[in-house]
Amino acid sequence: DIQLTQSPSFLSASVGDRVAITCRASQGISRYLGWYQQTPGKAPKLLIYATSTLQSGVPSRFSGSGSGTEFTLTISSLQPEDFGTYYCQHLNTYPLTFGGGTKVDFK
């Protein structure tokens, strides 16, 4: 099975900061990686799929990059509504797996 390791596990930042979250896969997954945002009490929301394609309606301050085994989610200017937990997930093959999550909190 493919394991995904996210870092950092916790991130504290200020409004306007540039934030980056990394996801490393235990083996190559081509470009088949997605990113999700989850706020308390809500279902996860797909932000980015296929490494860098923004889901419809997602603000352009979110971007994704990478290939193979290392991927990055970047928020160019953190906004108050961006707090929550972010997860990566591979869709290369079954079984699907998620990263452990990165909780984004505000200073």
Partner 1 sequence: QVQLKESGPGLVKPSETLSLTCTVSGYSISSGYYWGWIRQPPGKGLEWIGSIYHTGSTYHNPSLKSRVTISVDTSRNQFSLNLSSMTAADTAVYYCARNTLGDGGVDPWGQGTLVTVSS
Per CB under 8 A, residues contacting partner 1 are 1, 31-32, 34, 36, 43-46, 48-50, 53, 55, 87, 89, 91-101
Where residue 101 falls (left for φ over 0; alpha for ψ -120 to 50; beta otherwise) is left
Nearer to partner 1, 80 or 95 (CB): 95
- In angstroms, give the least distance from the CB of 81 to partner 1: 19
Residue pair 84/45 in contact by the 8 Å Cβ criterion: no
Q: How far is the CB of 82 from partner 1 (least distance, A)?
A: 19
User: How far apart are CB 15 and partner 1 at their closest, in Å?
Assistant: 26
* Nearer residue to partner 1 within complex by CB, 42 or 80: 42
